[in-house]
Structure 1
Amino acid sequence: MADVHNPATRSKNMRAIGTQNTAIEKRLAALLTEAGFDYTVQDATLPGRPDFVLEAWRCILFTHGCFWHHHDCYLFKVPETRTEFWLQKIGKNVARDARDIAHLKAQGWRVMVVWECALRGKRKLSDAALRERLEEWICGGEGCAQIDTQGIAALAVTSHSDRV
């Protein structure tokens, strides 16, 4: 199927996609605040400019869009137009994510990725379920983890070639 927009309109739409203070970040911020956690946002001094830094717990939280970071869920679909371009662009995001997480781990941080599908869409987790998983990991979790529609699991950082 061809793109329904001309190149100028598509370019304008893509430029309008925000990278900070997104709806999924706002939802996660509200849950962290309700749970009583202190955090800072978008810390540019750390690799990957983490969405949330919980210094007291030595935790980093990223909110990853399922399309932009290639999550294997119902929200990710390989574009039918300019497929090679998009796969390369998304592949670079995945590689950068892996590099940033490795750097953060080396600095002694625990890293959590909260996927977009856990925060919005028809299969999203309830606020109570999401808050419970966040509290469980922040207060007592080991290593790196991720939350998606299936719940909480260890975070396996893979290379781009393993994912696409």
Structure 2
Amino acid sequence: MGRVSSRDTSLELLIRRSLFASGFRFRLNDKRYPGSPDIVLPKYKAVIFVHGCFWHQHEGCSKSKRPETRREFWNSKLDANIERDKRNIEKLNSLGWRVAIVWECAIKKKSSFEEMISSLEDWIRSGHSELEIPNKT
């Protein structure tokens, strides 16, 4: 688990490049905020988490299948991740921050990535409180 990247994942880098090219400016993995969001857009009071489907247990996604071995360990670990995510989102909301979650399965092809970025940009500008971009497989 020590080798699992928690920041600068390929999907995160793609999203950051696209948002930057569209004129958005942001902070990265800012520890001042609950959960150290992957992307923080202070101007819009918005944060973006880029979640791996397995580690954050994307409900209904084929990538979130729990291992058959060491069940007690994995159930405890993954359930704790889910609870921590919920707590962090609640804390951010109570502080007035808007939260978007982009799941790793949200892109498979270039066309779906472009649609996802468009949805994300629209959400940032809209002022809506929440956004979740899944593509359940």
Q: TM-score, normalised by structure 2?
A: 0.91
Residue-by-residue CA offset, 1:122-163 (whole Å, 9 max, x unaligned): 47862320121011111114112210126xxxxxxxxxxxxx
Distance in 2 of aligned mates of 1:146 and 1:70 = 14
Distance in 1 of aligned mates of 2:53 and 2:91 = 22
Which deviates more from structure 2 when the two are superposed, residues 22-31 or residues 91-100?
22-31
Runs of 4+ aligned residues of structure 1 deviating over 6 Å after TM superposition are: none
Residue-by-residue CA offset, 1:93-115 (whole Å, 9 max, x unaligned): 11000001101001000000001
- Asked which structure has the greater RCO (Cα within 8 Å, sep 6+), the reply is 2
Of 26, 30, 43, which residue of structure 2 is paired with 1:56? Answer: 43
Shift of the 130–49 alpha-carbon distance from structure 1 to 2, 3 Å rule, reads same
**Which residue of the partner structure matches residue 29 of structure 2?**
42
Deviation, structure 1 residue 25: 1.1
Distance in 1 of aligned mates of 2:55 and 2:88 = 16
Of 61, 77, 84, which residue of structure 2 is paired with 1:89? Answer: 77
Paired amino acid for 2:48: L
CA contact (8 A) 1:114 1:146 kept: yes
User: Does 1:146 pair with 2:132?
Assistant: yes
**Which residue of the partner structure matches residue 161 of structure 1?**
none
**Which residue of the partner structure matches residue 66 of structure 1?**
53
User: Does 1:100 pair with 2:93?
Assistant: no
**Which residue of the partner structure matches residue 106 of structure 2?**
118
Which deviates more from structure 2 when the two are superposed, residues 96-105 or residues 124-133?
124-133
Q: Secondary structure at the match of 1:126?
A: helix
Distance in 1 of aligned mates of 2:111 and 2:85 = 24
CA contact (8 A) 2:11 2:50 kept: yes
CA contact (8 A) 2:44 2:127 kept: no
Count of aligned positions? 135
CA contact (8 A) 2:29 2:38 kept: yes
Deviation, structure 1 residue 58: 0.5
**Which residue of the partner structure matches residue 78 of structure 1?**
66
Shift of the 123–78 alpha-carbon distance from structure 1 to 2, 3 Å rule, reads farther
Any gaps of 5 or more consecutive residues in structure 1? 1-13, 151-164
Deviation, structure 1 residue 34: 2.1
Any gaps of 5 or more consecutive residues in structure 2? none
User: Does 1:128 pair with 2:114?
Assistant: yes
